[in-house]
Structure 1
Amino acid sequence: MSYNVVMMKVSTNGARGRDVRPVRTRLLEAAARLLADEGPRALTTRRLASEVGASTMVVYHHFGGMPELVHAVIAEGFARLAERMAAVPRTDDPVTDLGRLALAYRANARANPHLYAVMFGGVPPGGQAPPAAEPVASGAAFGAAAEAAARAMDAGRLRRDDPEHVSAQVWSAVHGLVMLELAGQLAGRAESVLISLLVNLSVGLGDAPDAAARSLRAALDAPAP
């Protein structure tokens, strides 16, 4: 089932607005919020159970322990990102598609800021290094970008290169902008800066300036997935 469906809040027994999402989903989001806002010391089974109105045994039932919980938070973040990226339709313009994928990446981060923070910068309990995302998780999220890059090369828009390498460059650039935006550093300018960034990156990768600008403006004008 799509996470967009289970994210819905519905009413039961006349209690409007009651959160009836699966407890696992609520635990993951509460854990991400605690880690992102208060740090690893705030993430205890007692505190987490209290956040969702459950017993501490529920935490162990769903995850086994805190390390497994943090890994599950990261996996959930990448699953939501992959779903958002997969919703971007493929068009006849691969550079537009790269732009739309970048915009989808930004939209996902804005919709899930706590999960995003833990995916790329959260520290699990005990001050250990954050667990690395499984390659399959990030691969599922960014396979479409590598495919669009390959099509752009086949169309003569970008210089021939390793599509995954190009995809990683786009990801790196967009991720930096998103981190600045979430930190409040690009208020009101993030979208225009992102498009300019992508135009400059595309030109650096071999595209013609006018063509890059047209394609990426089309990405911005397209309906959000």
Structure 2
Amino acid sequence: MPRPKTHDEALRVKLLDRAGVLLSTEGPKALSLRKLAADVDTSTTAVYSLFGSKPDLVSALYIEGFRRFGRRLAAVPRTGDPIEDLVQLGLAYRASALADPHLYPIMFTKSVPGFEPNEEAVRLAADAANALAVIVQIGVDAGVFIDVPPTSIAVGCWGIVHGLVTLELNGNLPPEFEPERGYADALRANARGWLKPEVFGA
């Protein structure tokens, strides 16, 4: 009978999730491989076997975050309506952040001084952002958006949802704000703001 794998994918994901929690709640100094191994009830040998070093662990954490993020955005069905598609993509952005709040800092903040994403990490981040760029380009090609660079529209849409998510994760949204409705209202109003006047009034 073959020996069971002890350093498998399940352990890798468990270590990454715990590393993300340590980083997001206690900061980079808390992210020691020895502490991580103890928290997950495994050996430091397992951590080194799976990741190699602390910088490699941080890189793997960044990559894992954008893999999950990219999968969620890619799963959003297209309706053919650029406005509704932008709203749904924004809601998926929020869902991803709430599902993995411990990965958000490494993905979108300088939470680890000196960390620079490698080529694979940069590609994954760009692939995730491409979902937004594609929807915006569809609207541009259809002639429904105003005549500005598509990047301006994409960054404007990203800024709205990113700001809302950051407020929510930090507990800064007012108690009377209803996230389910509030996000959709804000995302839809922002997206409609990029429409040409003749389309907006149609």
Bin of the TM-score, shorter chain as denominator length: 0.7 to 0.9
The unaligned stretches of length 5 or more in structure 1 are 1-19, 213-225
What amino acid does structure 2 have at the position aligned with 1:173? I
Moved more, 56-65 or 136-145: 136-145
> 2:151 aligned with 1:170, yes or no?
no
> 2:200 aligned with 1:200, yes or no?
no
Match of 1:74 in 2: 62
> 2:52 aligned with 1:64, yes or no?
yes
Cα distance, 1:51 vs. partner? 1.3
Cα distance, 1:118 vs. partner? 2.2
Cα distance, 1:80 vs. partner? 0.3
CA contact (8 A) 2:83 2:188 kept: no
Matches within 5 A, 1:181-192: 181-186=168-173, 187=175, 188-192=177-181
Q: TM-score, normalised by structure 1?
A: 0.76
CA contact (8 A) 1:147 1:163 kept: no
What amino acid does structure 1 have at the position aligned with 2:47? V
Cα distance, 1:69 vs. partner? 0.5
Match of 1:155 in 2: 142
Seen in structure 2, the aligned counterparts of structure 1 residues 157 and 145 have a Cα distance that, compared at 3 Å, is same
CA contact (8 A) 1:91 1:97 kept: yes
What amino acid does structure 1 have at the position aligned with 2:156? Q
Q: Deviations over 1:120-160 (max 9, x none)?
A: 22523xxx244347431222112121111111122232113
Cα distance, 1:168 vs. partner? 2.2
Match of 1:146 in 2: 133
RMSD, aligned α-carbons? 2.5
> 2:166 aligned with 1:179, yes or no?
yes
Q: Deviations over 1:39-63 (max 9, x none)?
A: 1121111110011111001111111
CA contact (8 A) 2:86 2:191 kept: no
Q: TM-score, normalised by structure 2?
A: 0.84
Cα distance, 1:208 vs. partner? 5.5
What CA distance in whole angstroms lies between the structure 1 residues aligned with 2:196 and 2:95?
Answer: 25
Match of 2:116 in 1: 131
> 2:103 aligned with 1:115, yes or no?
yes
What is the percentage of aligned positions where both structures have the same residue? 39
CA contact (8 A) 1:149 1:167 kept: yes
What amino acid does structure 1 have at the position aligned with 2:147? R
What CA distance in whole angstroms lies between the structure 2 residues aligned with 1:70 and 1:200?
Answer: 37
2:30 to 37, 42, 52: 42
Match of 1:222 in 2: none
Q: Deviations over 1:71-127 (max 9, x none)?
A: 110110000000000111111212111111110000000000001122122523xxx
